[in-house]
């Protein structure tokens, strides 16, 4: 368990009309399938169950996500190597731009996350390190959280136009695809608070990334009162007009917690698929083949 998250597993299972026995049956089916997937490494029940939840207990979609979850590590190795959270690279990255889950969920058991830029100089931002840290956070959430989707809150108060050259559409497209296909991210809402003067350019990028179904879940909040109509004040940080701890404290608490996972993260960074053992009927998922450019090449000097 994690003191930084409040979860209600029983309530989420009820949403999907799942009993303890049916969950056990689903896990048994996945375990039997894994016996015939010698290319895949071992995966614990905690992550298996949460990937099932992310896929709304669709066995077939969960299988696809499990395969993608490990296959992506070979297709984007720069994001899954050197994952020591105490390294200068990653500690600096998390303090420059943070992707932070909030402690409480809303009434639909959906988890809000807040993304905020703390860097004053864009040269302090390393997009590869930032996205790498995001996936570290996602891996840890797969052990701790139990939710019915996520509300992604982007605080753009300090966003400068130059940042859009650091996080180019190609980088964002790759990151989003990995989040959704290899981690099963389900976006319940995407919220922009403190929109910048060049919000139209931001929206242009968003429209290029999201399908029509998700575009309908994008909300531009010109004030915090607008945000409060969707995300309850009681679960938001004080600096967003809420009642929870300030965002900086939440960030610092998460940084300390993630560092306790250092041994597991270092060990897990070496885990890969063995394509030589992949069954002939199992097609290697080409997660990034249609997206051009690499994370590293698209960083600014």
Residue 3 has pLDDT above 60, yes or no: yes
Beta strands 187-193 and 97-101: pairing type? unpaired
C-beta neighbour count of 53 within 10 angstroms: 24
Taking a C-beta distance cutoff of 8 angstroms, is the pair 121, 158 a contact? no
What is the residue whose two structure tokens read 């990034």? 288
244: β partners? 237
Predicted local confidence at residue 289, as pLDDT: 65
For 194-249, what is each residue's pLDDT tens digit?
999 999 999 999 999 999 999 999 999 999 999 999 999 999 999 999 999 999 99
Closest CA to 15 of 113, 107, 103: 107
pTM over 0.85: yes
Domains and CATH numbers, the chain: 1-301 (3.40.525.10)
Confidence of residue 286 (pLDDT cuts 50, 70, 90): confident
Closest CA to 176 of 199, 210, 204, 151: 210
114: β partners? 100, 153
Helices 127-144 & 247-259, crossing angle to 10 degrees? 80
């Amino acid at each position: 368990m994690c003191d930084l998250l409040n979860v209600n597993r029983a309530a989420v299972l009820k949403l999907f009309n799942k009993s303890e026995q049916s969950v056990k049956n689903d896990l048994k089916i996945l375990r039997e399938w894994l016996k015939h997937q010698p290319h895949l490494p071992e995966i614990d029940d905690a992550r298996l169950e949460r990937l099932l939840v992310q896929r709304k207990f669709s066995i077939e979609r969960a299988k696809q996500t499990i395969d993608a979850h490990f296959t992506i590590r070979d297709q984007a190795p720069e994001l899954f190597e050197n994952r020591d959270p105490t390294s200068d690279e990653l500690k600096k990255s998390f303090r420059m731009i943070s992707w932070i889950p909030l402690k409480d969920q809303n009434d639909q058991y959906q988890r809000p996350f807040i993304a905020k830029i703390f860097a004053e100089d864009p040269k302090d931002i390393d997009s590869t390190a930032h996205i790498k840290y995001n996936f570290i956070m996602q891996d840890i959430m797969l052990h701790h959280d139990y939710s019915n989707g996520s509300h992604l809150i982007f605080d753009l108060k300090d966003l400068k136009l130059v940042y859009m050259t650091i996080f180019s559409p190609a980088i964002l497209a790759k990151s989003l695809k990995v989040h959704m296909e290899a981690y099963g991210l389900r976006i319940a809402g995407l919220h922009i608070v403190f929109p910048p003067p060049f919000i139209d350019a931001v929206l242009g990028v968003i429209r290029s990334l999201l399908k029509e179904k998700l575009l309908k879940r994008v909300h531009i909040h010109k004030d915090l009162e607008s945000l409060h109509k969707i995300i309850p004040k009681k679960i938001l940080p004080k600096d967003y007009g809420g009642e929870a701890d300030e965002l900086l404290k939440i960030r610092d608490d998460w940084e300390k917690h993630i560092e306790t996972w250092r041994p597991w993260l270092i060990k897990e960074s070496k885990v890969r698929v063995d394509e030589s053992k992949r069954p002939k009927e199992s097609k290697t998922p080409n997660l990034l083949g249609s997206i051009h450019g690499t994370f590293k090449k698209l960083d600014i000097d």
